[in-house]
Amino acid sequence: MTVQLTKQESFSQDISIDMLQKYDVSGPRYTSYPTADRFVEAFTEADYIQALEQRRDRNAGSPLSIYVHIPFCDSLCFYCACNKIVTKHHERSREYLEYLRHEVDLHTAHLGKGQTISQLHLGGGTPTFFSDDELTELMDMLKRSFNFVSGGEYSIEVDPRTVDEKRLAHLAKLGFNRLSFGVQDFDEDVQKAVHRVQPHEQVFELVAQARALKFDSINVDLIYGLPKQTPASFNRTLQLIGELKPDRIALYAYAHLPERFKPQRRIHAEDLPAAGEKVSMLSNAIAHFLSVDYVYVGMDHFALPNDPLAVAKRQGRLHRNFQGYSTQPDCDLIALGVSAIGRVGGTYSQNAKTLEDYYDSLRQGKMPIVRGIALSKDDMVRRAVIMALMCQGELLFESIELAYLIDFKQYFANELNSLNALQDEGMLEIDEQGIHISSRGWFFVRAIAMKFDRYLLTDQNRARFSKII
């Protein structure tokens, strides 16, 4: 069964505000399974090196993905939950670049030079905190060490306040073919309340320039649930986004967790929209995007029908990684930079979270790995199940049984039972062949995936995760 929902009518018939409210429970976003909060310090640099060397010995030729985390930002957005360093000292980039160079060298020492790369993502922080020269140096360094294939996905997160047409042209020249603009909301009061003022005219101009420069895909990030936002004000932003027509839209819920994220303490709780208003904003956003022809790709993501992500969705070729949905087949991910998370073979690992620790390890010639996890067989099976549900909207028992030599119905008897209530709600259908998520269920796919998360089954701490929608 293909999950497809392309028009507002289907949305309003299928999903009510009551349902959005009912399934607004806490849950992970499954950019990995197990999720990063399950990583352990017992996983060390030696485990990571072993995974890299096993890859070198086994997988010669299969493409790699690279993520580079650039932590610096010029100014602080109050909603921020990222690992970043706010500074006006741009000279700090140079030092960071040198340490990235050490980290790349350590990788090529264990993997060999010239590994094929089909996907690169620069995230942060603010990658465009780097000057054009520093970005050139970074790309030259990566290109000297790895072999970037043509036709790959090379993307960078762009803070609209840090670029102009000349800088965008430079990014195109360096080989980036995808841009992701952080917009969040166009409303001036909201922008002031979160300390991120960027007039919509500026974003419209940059997107027009990026199109003229022939970037393959332009993404815009939005957030609902921010201070001073109301359903009416957010509708105006939605209208503008409909006019801007980016190829992709990522729509995230703001989770107010000031005890965990210090910048959020600058947000006045009384300015936050009520839970009901938040659900209205989500409902309006979904309805609006569908009415202006976007396809709901899956959790948080929309794309124009011809965008490769929407095409991959139609053809059942979606994948999921730390950046969300992707068209690139599952591949190992080398993560570079402070706090970056990578995936190699059956392992996930994370770099040191502070610059001090990150630099310190590299100065000693050591990989800056501080925690991670080696997946057990059960983790692997569950990861395959969760990713199939979240990417294809369907799980065929036989495919899991053949790949992992289990009897699916026996192995997951409790989990299948727990899906009955969701089946009664019309979210999915279970038959002899497998689990088929309905167009309604696709909006709550995270709630379905969570039924297969072994760690959550016994976990009392669900509140740590952001709201499900």
Q: Which residues bind ligand SF4 (CB under 6 A)?
A: 73, 76-77, 80, 82, 84, 124-126, 159, 182
Pick between residue 263 and residue 273 the one whose CB is nearest to ligand SF4: 263
Distance of closest approach, residue 56 Cβ to ligand SF4, in angstroms:
33
What's the angle, vertex CA 23, arms to CA 22 and CA 25, rounded to 5? 110
Measuring CA to CA, which residue among 15, 18, 21 is closest to residue 439?
A: 15
Nearer to ligand SF4, 25 or 81 (CB): 81
By beta-carbon proximity to ligand SF4, the closer residue of 58 and 88 is 88
Q: Alpha-carbon Rg of the chain, whole angstroms? A: 22
Are the C-beta atoms of residues 256 and 304 closer than 8 Å to each other? no
Residues contacting residue 171 through CB under 8 Å, at least 6 positions apart: 135, 156, 158, 163, 179
Length of the chain (residues)? 469
Q: Please report how close the Cβ of residue 88 comes to ligand SF4 at its closest, in angstroms.
A: 13
**Cis ω for the linkage preceding 125 (within 30 of 0):** yes
Minimum distance from residue 210 beta carbon to ligand SF4 (Å): 18
Pairing between β-strand 248-253 and β-strand 301-303 as defined by DSSP bridges? antiparallel
Query: Could you give the CA distance from residue 336 to residue 322 in angstroms, rounded to a whole number?
Result: 13
- Closest CB 72 distance from ligand SF4, rounded Å: 8
Nearer Cβ to ligand SF4, position 258 or 329?
Answer: 258
Would you say 11 or 79 has its CB closer to ligand SF4?
A: 79
Cα(194)–Cα(78) distance, integer angstroms: 5
As measured in angstroms, the least distance from the Cβ of 127 to ligand SF4 is 10
Give 233 or 264: the residue with its C-beta nearer to ligand SF4.
Answer: 264
DSSP string for 300-357 = TEEE-TTSHHHHHHHTT--EEETTEEESSPP--EEEESTT-EEEETTEEEEE-SSHHH
Least distance from C-beta 461 to ligand SF4, angstroms?
A: 25
